[in-house]
Amino acid sequence: MITVLRIGHRPARDKRITTHVALTARAFGASAIVIDLHDEELERNVRSVTDRFGGSFHVSSGVNWRR
């Protein structure tokens, strides 16, 4: 199981790059991405792609990655 950790996501500035990071991680076989700051729109976009193209990929944001 490979999980990608995205630290330093800035919702106002990094919408596209973090989405690309998540989708690239999914394409390369990662099981999940964890994003340090909460971003509901990003979660919705990545889940939409997973629903449309299949597979199991989990996205969670607003997670304290140090725990």
Helix 40-53 crosses helix 15-27 at what angle (to 10 degrees)? 30
pLDDT for res 32? 97
Residue pLDDT, tens place only, 2-52: 999 999 898 888 889 999 999 999 999 999 999 999 999 999 999 999 999
Nearest one of 49, 60, 5, 9 to 27, comparing CA atoms: 49
Report how far apart, in Å, the C-alpha atoms of 13 and of each of 20, 51, 56 are. Answer: 13, 26, 27
The pLDDT value given to residue 67: 72
pLDDT of residue 12: 84
pTM above 0.75, yes or no: yes
pLDDT at 39: 93
Q: Which of 64, 29, 24 is nearest to 46 (CA)?
A: 24
Six token digits for residue 46: 């990545």
pLDDT at 6: 94
